[in-house]
Structure 1
Amino acid sequence: MRRGRSKNPIAIVIVFVLISCFLVLILSVLRLPDASSGNNSNTSIKLDQISKFAGNNVMIGKFGEMMIEMLPQDLSFTIFIPSENAFEHDLKLNVNDSLVGEKANDTYAILTRVLSFTVVPWKIVSKSVRYGEEIVCDSLSGFKLYVSKDADEMLVVNSVRSKRVDLRKGEMVIHVMDSVIMEAEFEQSVRPDDDEDQD
């Protein structure tokens, strides 16, 4: 009986620790959707501030804002987000046309896929990348990103140059890119066919 009594406090502590860890895990998982949808008024103010800070010709734009809203603000991410012009030039997405009717679902699917190529699950600030060196990391989809810095102190990711660096939203670091970062297979699926160009 003495042995049983001496093990009880240890067993109670172990059970208490396990239950506490399990509760913390459940609460953090349940909290993620709230963080991504967030309070609409607060989110829009912050997104407006980011858009204004990005400058007149380097706007994040509606598609960029939609991508940012897909991620929880309270987790550390780096997102290499295409500029407003890059969405239109590279993906032929136009706010007035691409978010209307049946096209809205296709646009959302494209943005989700682009997000998987352009998000890294930790912070990469421009100061952490040394000129002449390259950081290799995996995006959320497993797509390899090669991050370097050019002579103008701008980041270059897979040959795509940044327009603005180190914007912040919550725990996220946002770099506005000059073009859309995507894998070759996806790029071919969203680009117009060569036949259309020849007609």
Structure 2
Amino acid sequence: MAATARRRRSLFPLRPRPLPPQRLLLAATAAVCTLLFLLVVLFSTSPSSPPTHHHAAATRSSPSPPHYCAGAAAELGELGDVMVSMLPNDLPFTIFAPSASAFRRVLNLRPRNGTAAVEINQTAADDGDANTYAVLSRVLGFSAVPWRLFAADVPPPPPLPRGESEIESAGAGVMVESVSGLRIHVARRDDGAAAGLVANGVRSECVDVVRGETVVHVMAGVLMDAEFERSFAAGFN
């Protein structure tokens, strides 16, 4: 009898037992979580489009556009060309370069006898040219930022309170760091003919000179740290 019962059980396959409701809920939750995780990974690893720089046109929020440089070679001057030539052509940089008058007024530097800037860079024939090149190297370290920053990339200043004029908000603008570690606060100004940029309190004469991958803003002064300013003033005196 026992053998006959075993044969009968072997003839009929066992039916699968249904999962309890709790296990079904856990399985469904795990499947949904796995699907969400895969979607998050897919979207996070997809390439994103680069940020768009609206430097080709004036910012609409500012009624007075910055003064763009016309005749870039004349605006930079020979010493400014030296600073640009010190940087690699295929890497993005921004230079807050002193104007020709700022070189003369602040650093007492001027091209000698109309010598081309490239000649000062390539052949330091005497002590005067060597010293000029050394000073320009230091100034470049203070004023060069390792990415492109156009005037339109700097946020416009907040509206001025009624009854006040030509004040600059300390919270406006952006903070960048030069290749030598100098922190530079760059702000936009909108005061009519003098509209442009202000970097550490130094106003721009014109902005957005493009030289290859380098963007140059011509400044009415020189960016430098306090130590170099003191040492240069002592040597100048």
TM-score, L = length of structure 2: 0.56
After superposition, the C-alpha distances for 1:113-161 in whole angstroms (9 at most, x for unaligned) are 0000000001110001122222111100000000001114401000000
Name the SS for the 1:191 alignment partner: helix
C-alpha RMSD over aligned residues: 2.3
> Which protein has greater RCO, CA pairs closer than 8 Å, 6+ apart?
2
Higher helix content, 1 or 2: 1
Give 1 or 2 for the bigger CA radius of gyration.
2
Aligned pair count?
143
Letter in 1 for 2:152: K
Asked if the contact 1:116–1:141 (Cα under 8 Å) also holds between the matched residues in 2, the reply is yes
Q: Which residue of 1 aligns with 2:173?
A: 134
1:95 aligns with 2:75: no
**CA apart distance, 1:101:** 2.2
Q: CA deviation at 1:54?
A: 3.8
Pair 1:55–1:111, CA change in 2 (3 A): closer
Residue identity over aligned pairs, in percent, reads 40
CA distance in 2, matches of 1:55, 1:75: 21
Distance 1:62 1:189 in 2: 25
TM-score normalized by the length of structure 1? 0.66
Q: Secondary structure at the match of 1:162?
A: strand
80-89 or 99-108: which moved more? 99-108
Asked whether the 8 Å contact 1:54–1:164 carries over to 2, the reply is no
Tell me, in whole angstroms, the C-alpha distance in 1 between the residues paired with 2:147 and 2:102: 24
In structure 2, the partner of 1:161 is 203
**How far 1:52 moved relative to its partner?**
6.4
Match of 1:25 in 2: none
Distance 1:60 1:125 in 2: 17
Does residue 1:78 correspond to 2:78, yes or no? Answer: no
Using the alignment, how far apart are the partners of 2:230 and 2:90 within structure 1?
34
Q: Could you list the runs of 4 or more consecutive aligned residues of structure 1 that deviate by over 4 angstroms after TM superposition? A: 97-100
